[in-house]
Structure 1
C-alpha cells in the first residue's frame, strides 16, 4: 500500500510553526485524512491514491453521518482555533474552510443532489474509474488493478442510488439516462483501450461484465421507474436562489447586484459587437447595403456576419486536432508578449471528451490533482454526440467554428484554466488548493479572452474579435439566464429567444444552455462575476502604477495567492 501522499505535501506557511497557523494546518490535514478514507472518489480526484481500489458509501445513513461530522467540525473549529492569533493569510484560509463547510450543510438541507439528481451517481460509476487511467502517475498495471477492484463497488453505488432518489426533475433523469448508456459503452469497450488490454485477456473483464449487467438493469430502473416519477421542480425559487448564489459566489454580492450589473453589461457588449460587425460587413458582403441603424438592423448585421463566418469550421474527425494545432500559436504569443510565465514542463493533454461525459458542455479542463501534481491536466473537447442528426451537428460546428475554437482554447488552457490552476497548485495552502473558488477560475479564464486580443493576439483580426465578444456576451447572458430561470417563470421559449436574439447563439447551442441552466443552478453566474472582479482589479492596479505597470508581473501576482474567493483580490494584489 502506498504511503499517504497527503503527509508529503508542505504545510501552509507560518511565521511560527508551533503557533495558531500550524494548528489550523494540522486540523485541515486531519480533516482531509478522514475525508479521503470515507470518500475514496474524492481522494482520487485530489491525487491521493491510497483508496483507488474502492468507492464511497453513498447510502442515506452514510450521508447523514457526513452532515453530523460537518456540524461537529464547525463547532470544534470555533472552539479550538483562535482566529485573532492567525496570520492574515491563515485567517483567509480559515474563512474559506468555514464557508465551505456551511455551504455543504445548506446544500444537504436545501438542495440535496443525492435525492434530486441521478447524474451524481454516474460520476461515481464512470468518472471515478476513467480518472484512474487519465490522471494518475501510478504505473498502468497498478491503475488497472485498482480499477478492477473499484468497479466491483458499482452494484453498491447503484443500490444506494435506488434507495436515495426520490422525485428528481425530469430533465435531470433524462440526462442520466443518456449518460448511463455512455457508461455501459465505456465498460463494454472503451476502458480496455485506456488500460491497453483486450476484453478477453484482462483482469478488468469479469468486473466490467458484472458492471454492464448492473448498469443495464439500472437503465431499466431509470427509464421505467424513476422517469415516470420525475416530477420535481428544477427551479430554486427567488429566496433559495438568492441564498445559494451568495454561498456559491462568496464575492460580497447579492443576486440583485449580479442581475443589475449583467443587464447593463449586456447592453454595452451588444453595442460593441455591432461596431465590429459593421466594419466586417463590406468584406463579408461586398456591394450589399448595410442594414438600417436601428435595434433590429443592428442585430441583423451582427447575425449575418456571424452566420457567414461560422461556415469556416472543423469536422467531427478533425476537431481535436484543430485545437492541438492552435495551441502552439497561442503559447508562442504568450511568451513573446510576456503575458506571463507558462508552466514548465507543460502537462496539458488535449483529448476527445468520452461519450459518457458529453451533453453538458463543449469542453472542460480537468486540472492535475492537488496531491499528484505531476499528473496530466486534461483539456477535453466534445464533438457533437454521434446520435445527433446531421443538421444539429452542422449547427454545433458553426457555433464552434475556427475562430471560436481559438477563444475556447484561450479560455480552457492557455492562459486560462490550465495555466491558472497550475499556478494555483504551487500555492502551499492546502485549503486554497482543495477548496478552490470556481468564481476565481472561471473569472480568470473569461478575463484572458479579451486580454489576449487586446495585447495583439490575432493581429487585429476582426472576425476573431467578434467571436471573442460573442463568447463574452454568452458569459453575461449566463448570469441573466441563471437568475431569470430560477427566480421567475421564464419559459424555455423565452430563454431561447434571449440566447439566440441577444447572444447570437445557434438554436442547438441555445437549447443546450437552457438545459444546463436547469441542471446547474448558480454556476452559470460565476463567469460574469469572476471576470468583472478581474477586470476591475486590473484597471485599479494599472491606474495606480501608471507607466510602471508590467502586465506579466501583474498577472503572476494575481495568480500567486491560489484559487481563492475574488473578494480577497483587492487586498492581496497590490
Structure 2
C-alpha cells in the first residue's frame, strides 16, 4: 500500500499527521477544544478501580466500539481515509496539547482493556485485543520515544483528506464543499503548530516535505475553484470559502518557504539530524510494525542467507537461457556478471515512457481472467479499480502504489497510482522502463492489483472485524502481495517461461535486499556507495530504481522489511496447512479463509485458522 499505503505501515500518529497530506501506507487529528479529549475535562476524575470495573462490566465489543468512536474524534483525517466522513470537517492542530490528548487516549484505553479477562474471550476477540494493545503501546512510544514529530517535517501536510473530500462522491457536492470550507479554517494554525514543533530536521525528510507540500498546492488550485463556481452555495458561502482558501494557500506556501530556509541554513552547516535511527529504536519500531515473533536482526540474517539461495536459482536459469541470447559467446566466470547480462537482454523489452501507464491498464483484465480460469480466488468485480497518475502531493516515494477505500466506504474507488514516467528525462525514464520491463510489469501488476493489494484490501473491507481492518499489519498486507507473485507463477501464469521466472527471482531478490538494505542503513550505517553496490551489482537493479530505493530507505524505517517478513510467514502457513489437511487442502479455500481475517498479522491469522481446524 504504502499501499500508499502508505497507511498501513506507519504509526497511527504519523498517519494522523501525514494522511493530512500524503496518505499507504499515510492523517491528522482532533477538535482542539477540550470536549474532544479522551476524558471530558469537566467530568470528575475516575479512579483506577472505577475504570477497571466499568471496563470489565462493559465487555470487549462495547469497549472496542467506544474506543473506535473516540479514535475518529482524535484522528479525523485517518477517519476520512477509512471512509468515515462524520468528522471530515475537523482538523487537529498538531501541537503539544494535541499530543497530550493522544497520550491520554492511549494510556486510558490501555488501562481499560487490561481490566478484561483475555482468556474468557473467543479467539477472534482475543486476536483483536492483541492488535489494540500493540496499537496503544505504539501510540505512546511514537510520542515519547521515537518523536518523529520533532524531526520529520514531511509528517505535516494537509492535502490528502482534502483531496478525498473533494473527489469522493460520499455526499452531494455542496455538502462536501461546506465540509471542505470548515476544515480549511484551521490550516493556518496547523502549519503554525508544525513550525513551532519542529526542532532539528533530518535532511531526506526535509527535502520530501518541500516536494510534497509544493504538490499539495494542486489540491487547492483551479479544480476546487471550478467546483465552487458550479456549486449551489450562496454568494456569502462562496466568499467565505474563497477567503479561507486563500489563507490556506498562504499558510502552505509559508511552510514551504520556512522549510526551504531551514534547508539552506542546515545545508551550509551540515547540522541535520541523522536520518538513521540506530539499533535500539529500530528493534522497537520493528516489534510494533512487523509483529512476526522475531527481531529485526534475526530477519536480516535470514535475508542474507536467502540472497545466496536466490543467486543460485538465478544462475541456473541464466545458464539455461544463455545460448538463446548469447549464442556465439562464452558466459563469464563471475556468476553475478552472467546473470546480469541475461537480465539486461530481457530488460530491452519494455514500454515507452508515453505508453507505460496504458500498458499497466491493459494488463489488469488479463490477470483477472487468469485468476478466474485457475479458480485461485473469488474476485469482486463490482469494486472499482482506477489506474491514475500519482497525485503531485504523493510523489517522491515509490513508482507505484495503491490507495484503497476504508471499511466505512467500501464502494469507493481504489486507485492504482503510477508515477508520471512520461515527465522524466529520457535517461531516467529509460532506466526505469528497463527495470519495469514487460516481464517485471506483470509482476508489478500482480503485486499491486490482481490478486495482490487491490484484491486483499477488498477482502479486508468485508472482514467482520473492524479492528483488524483499521489497525492493519503492514507485513501481512505487503506479504500477501509478494506471496501472490509466486502463487500466480506456480499456477502457470506466463506458461512457466524461464525468462519470466528469472525476472521473478530478480523481483523477489529485491524483496530480500529491501530487508538487508533497511537494516544496514538504519543500524549498521552503510553509505550510499555500499547501498548502490548491494542493489545494482548484487540485486541487478537499474540505477534509477536503486537511486529511488536509496532515497526511500532514508525516508522510512522498517517498512521495507515488511514485504519479506510477511511473505515468508504466509508461505510457512500455507505449508503448515497443507501438512495438516493433506488431501483436503484446497488452495482457493486457503486464500479466501486467510483473507477473511482482514489486515491482521500473519501469526494472529495462523492462530485463528488453527482454532477453526480444531
Q: Which residue of 1 is the match for residue 491 of structure 2?
A: 455
| 2:349 paired residue number | 312
For residues 166 and 325 of structure 2, the distance between their equivalents in structure 1, rounded to whole angstroms, comes to 47
Question: How far, CA to CA, are the matches of 1:385 and 1:318 in structure 2?
Answer: 8
Task: Give the aligned partner of residue 394 of structure 2.
Answer: 357
- Once the two structures are superposed, the pairs formed by residues 53-132 of structure 1 within 5 Å of their partners are 53-79=89-115, 81-122=116-157, 125-132=158-165
1:405 pairs with 432, 441, 447, which one?
441
Is 1:256 matched up with 2:292? no
How far 1:346 moved relative to its partner? Answer: 2.8
Which shifted more, 33-42 or 227-236?
227-236
Give the C-alpha shift of residue 44 in structure 1. 0.6
1:84 Cα deviation (Å)?
Answer: 2.5
Q: Deviations over 1:495-524 (max 9, x none)?
A: 111011111111121111111112111111
Residue of structure 2 in register with 1:8 after alignment: none
In structure 1, the residue matched to 2:547 is 511
Q: Deviations 1:246-303 (Å, cap 9, x if unpaired)?
A: 22111111122201111111111111122222222233233232222xxx2x211221
Whole-angstrom CA distance in 2 between matches of 1:437 and 1:290: 44
Secondary structure of the 1:365 match is strand
Instruction: Provide the residue aligned with 2:368 in structure 1.
Output: 331
**Preserved CA contact (<8 Å) 1:167 1:226:** no
Alpha carbons 1:411, 1:446 under 8 Å: kept: yes
The question of whether the paired residues in 2 share the 8 Å contact of 1:365 and 1:412 is answered with yes
Give, in whole Å, the separation in 1 of the partners of 2:356 and 2:175.
32
**Structure 2 residue matching 1:426: 3-state secondary structure:** coil
Decide which of 192, 209, 223 is 2:260's aligned counterpart.
Answer: 223
2:283 aligned with 1:242, yes or no?
yes
State the match for 1:373 in structure 2.
410
**Maintained 8 Å contact 2:347/2:434:** yes
Does the aligned pair in 1 maintain the 2:515–2:564 contact within 8 Å? yes
2:500 maps to which residue?
Answer: 464
Gap regions ≥5 residues in structure 1: 1-18
Task: Report if aligned partners of 2:383, 2:412 keep a CA contact under 8 Å in 1.
Answer: no
What residue is the counterpart of 1:502 in the other structure? 538
Query: Partners of 1:474 and 1:113 in 2: how far apart?
Result: 27
Q: Identify if the C-alpha distance between structure 1 residues 417 and 97 changes in structure 2 by more than 3 Å, giving closer, same or farther.
A: same
- 1:271 maps to 312
SS at match of 1:573: helix
* Alpha-carbon distance in 2 for matches of 1:449, 1:418: 13
CA distance, structure 2, for counterparts of residue 262 and residue 155 of structure 1: 46
Assess, with a 3 A threshold, how the Cα gap between structure 1 residues 22 and 417 changes in structure 2: closer, same or farther: farther
Q: CA deviation at 1:191?
A: 4.8
Instruction: Give distance in 2, aligned partners of 1:542 and 1:195.
Output: 58
Is contact 2:465–2:597 with CA below 8 Å preserved after alignment?
no
Question: Quick one: distance in 2 between partners of 1:341 and 1:521?
Answer: 35
Rounded Cα–Cα distance in structure 1 between residues aligned with 2:358 and 2:466:
36
Equivalent pairs counted in the alignment come to 546
Is the Cα contact below 8 Å between 1:188 and 1:208 reproduced in 2?
A: no
**TM-aligned CA distance change 1:375 to 1:196, over 3 Å:** farther
Aligned match of 1:442: 478
SS in 2 for 1:379: strand
Q: Structure 2: give runs of 5+ residues left out of the alignment.
A: 1-54
Q: Distance in 2 between matches of 1:154 and 1:403?
A: 45
Once the two structures are TM-superposed, the CA of residue 206 in structure 1 deviates from its matched residue by: 4.6
1:174 aligns with 2:207: yes
2:170 alignment partner in structure 1:
137
Offset at residue 305 of structure 1 (A): 2.0
Contact 1:21 1:87 in 2 (8 A): no
Is 1:147 matched up with 2:145? no
- Counterpart residue number, 2:34: none
Residue 72 (structure 2) pairs with residue 36 (structure 1): yes
Report the alpha carbon displacement of residue 461 of structure 1 after superposing the two structures with TM. Answer: 2.4
Question: How far has the Cα of 1:159 moved from its partner?
Answer: 0.8
Given the alignment, which residue of 212, 228, 247 partners 2:249?
212
User: What is the deviation of 1:451?
Assistant: 0.8
Deviation at 1:418, TM superposition (A): 1.2
Kept in 2: contact 1:236–1:487 (CA 8 A): yes
Match of 2:455 in 1: 419
1:321-349 deviation digits (Å, cap 9, x = unpaired): 21111000000000000111012413222
CA distance in 2, matches of 1:558, 1:21: 33
Q: Deviations over 1:507-558 (max 9, x none)?
A: 1211111111121111111110100001111122223333332211111121
